Amino acid sequence: MSTSESNLFPLVGLQAVANAHNEWVAVSFHVPQQAQGALLAALCAADVYAHLAPLDCIIPVGEPHLDEATLAQLLPQLVPQRTIFRLSTTAASNQHMQQRCLQWRDAGYRIVLDGPGAGPVTAAQVDARALGIDASAELPGLQHLMSLPGPHLAYNIADSASLAAVCALGASWFAGDYALHGARRDSEAEQGTSRRRLLALLGLLARDADVQELEVPLKQDPALAYHLLKLVNSAAFGFTATITSFNQAITLLGRRQLQRWLQLLLYARQQDDGKLNALLPLAAVRAAQMESLCQLRGGDRAAQDLAFMTGVFSLLDILLGMDMADIIATLNLDPAVSAALLGRSGELGAMLALAESGATPASASLARAGVDGKTYWRSLLQAYQWAITVSRNI
């Protein structure tokens, strides 16, 4: 692919969809309105379903997204049993589309009906078993969801209050930025203790401390120690003998991999209600995408490590409930990492801003990071693949 062709590669965004336990169950595709063929080009550029396995893929259909002609071209690239069409109510009112939906159902596809007027009557016309709910708009009545089996998908969820509202309504699949704006439930004393331990561990990681030093804060935090040993004994690594100590883990994993997993384990502690921490896979996506972008741009191993660390640490202010400047002040980070975290400046800052764009990547962000569309798409798929592995093994 030439430079000019690569720059024209259409941008397709991805957004994770989680269940009530903050476990990822699907990935929603965001397709530019002005580029009907964007998703086809993206699917043809990589084995998307392999990268996102075992999650379902949610694809928007109908105005202002994919029209029927484009979708017909797209179908050969799709895996029916893992594909959900999010169908607009405008498209669902078309009799020809209603016939198509019955054919898709017979082929194994599922349909979520989304838009004004969506309800049991309109859902029956296209054999939709679930509704899409825009949490940023007026919510539908409870009766619209009760007669449909679901799972109902709520999206554009901005915060914990919005999440609670769609949960009460009956939604069980969720997408949005609510993880970045959730309410902390820890007591002040617990927050203080947790912060000190986490910051101590972060400081040790930043200065490449030896394993004996790393063991101290880990032993003081049983949850982190548990998750580390659970991780290294998981199927993700395939070790035949049970690993029972940090020394064993370092020997088998290697220090570089251990440090990366430890950085992610900072997000692994469960919430008061027993749910997984919704920030964990988000941190994994940012870290892995930044590493991938750095690698695809020709960065060496040291540069990739800094990129990975920047992505992981970019959510520490939310995790700890502290200003990023106060966190940085306690750590001995590389100046480039600090500059990226504090002001999104420098090369790492440009890549971090791009990784933060999530479902809506902008051409200007790509240009600032020196990344073309195809490179961005490859890095995004690799990041999601890594995050899915992390979420299922920590």
Asked whether residue 166 falls in the same domain as residue 218, the answer is: no
Asked whether residue 115 falls in the same domain as residue 240, the answer is: no
Asked whether residue 216 falls in the same domain as residue 323, the answer is: yes
Asked whether residue 242 falls in the same domain as residue 344, the answer is: yes
| Count of domains for the chain | 2
Per-residue pLDDT of the chain (394 residues; tens, 9 = 90+): 333 444 457 788 899 999 999 999 999 998 876 666 778 888 888 899 999 999 999 998 876 667 777 788 889 999 999 999 999 999 899 898 899 999 999 999 999 999 888 889 999 999 999 999 999 999 888 777 888 999 999 999 999 999 999 999 999 999 999 999 865 545 444 555 666 777 788 888 777 788 788 888 877 777 777 778 888 887 677 777 788 777 777 777 777 887 888 888 888 865 556 678 899 999 999 999 999 999 988 999 999 999 999 999 999 999 888 899 999 988 888 999 999 999 999 999 999 999 998 777 778 888 899 888 889 999 999 999 999 988 887 7
Q: What is the CB-side half-sphere exposure of residue 376 using CA atoms within 13 A?
A: 34
Q: Which of 137, 163, 181 is the last residue of a domain?
A: 181
Q: Is the dihedral of CA 65, 68, 70, 73 positive or negative?
A: positive
- For the purposes of burial, counting CB atoms within 10 Å of the CB of 336, is it exposed (0-12), middle (13-18) or buried (19 or more)? middle
Q: Which of 181, 212, 227 is the last residue of a domain?
A: 181
Residue of 156, 150, 157 lying closest to 172 (CA atoms)? 150
Residue of 78, 16, 67, 18 lying closest to 42 (CA atoms)? 78
Asked whether residue 313 falls in the same domain as residue 359, the answer is: yes
Asked whether residue 170 falls in the same domain as residue 217, the answer is: no
Residues 6+ apart with CB under 8 A from 245: none
- The helix/strand/coil state of 157 is strand
Strand 83-88 to 24-30 pairing: unpaired
Asked whether residue 192 falls in the same domain as residue 313, the answer is: yes
Asked whether residue 363 falls in the same domain as residue 216, the answer is: yes
What range defines the domain where residue 321 resides? Answer: 186-394
Asked whether residue 242 falls in the same domain as residue 389, the answer is: yes
Q: Which two tokens stand for residue 130?
A: 């679930």
Asked whether residue 210 falls in the same domain as residue 353, the answer is: yes
Asked whether residue 253 falls in the same domain as residue 358, the answer is: yes
341's torsion region: left (phi>0), alpha (psi -120 to 50) or beta? alpha
Asked whether residue 335 falls in the same domain as residue 226, the answer is: yes
Residue of 192, 199, 355, 194 lying closest to 283 (CA atoms)? 355
With both helix axes pointing from N to C terminus, report the angle between 211-220 and 246-253 in degrees, rounded to the nearest 10: 130
Q: What distance lies between CA 252 and its chain's CA centroid?
A: 28
Q: Tell me, what CATH number does 256's domain have? A: 1.10.3210.10
Q: Is the dihedral of CA 339, 344, 345, 347 positive or negative?
A: positive
Residue that is written with structure tokens 């209600």 in the block: 273
